[in-house]
């Protein structure tokens, strides 16, 4: 995969949430919310706030979905990123 985001954009891959709650209740796939955590895969030259490998939180309905080599990614504008998880 060779994708370079342009402008103030980043390419991310969503991080799957756990299938069970802390108390052990199994959550079915259709009851899960859309994940809003992702790992940064690629960053444009204009973005300085995040780097490749960071785990970020982004707005619930943000970004453009993209499939590259059979893998789903999301292209986000840096303004859609709410924060970096340390």
> All domains of the chain, ordered by start, with CATH?
9-85 (2.30.33.40)
Listed residue (65, 70, 2, 78) closest to 34, CA to CA: 65
Percent of the chain with pLDDT over 90: 69
Query: In the prediction, which pLDDT does 33 show?
Result: 57
pTM for the predicted model, two decimal places: 0.80
pLDDT at 23 over 80: no
Q: How far is residue 61's CA from residue 45's CA, in Å, rounded to a whole number?
A: 25
Average pLDDT over residues 2-18: 89
Q: How far is residue 27's CA from residue 53's CA, in Å, rounded to a whole number?
A: 28
Average pLDDT over residues 30-41: 75
pLDDT at 29 over 60: no
């Amino acid at each position: 995969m060779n994708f370079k985001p342009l402008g103030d954009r980043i390419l991310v891959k969503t991080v799957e949430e756990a299938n069970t709650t802390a108390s052990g209740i199994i959550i079915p796939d259709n009851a899960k919310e859309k994940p809003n955590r992702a790992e940064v895969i690629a960053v444009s030259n204009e973005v300085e706030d995040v780097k490749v490998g960071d785990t970020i939180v982004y707005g619930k309905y943000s970004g453009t979905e993209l499939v590259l080599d059979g893998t789903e990614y999301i292209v986000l504008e840096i303004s859609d990123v709410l924060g970096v998880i340390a």
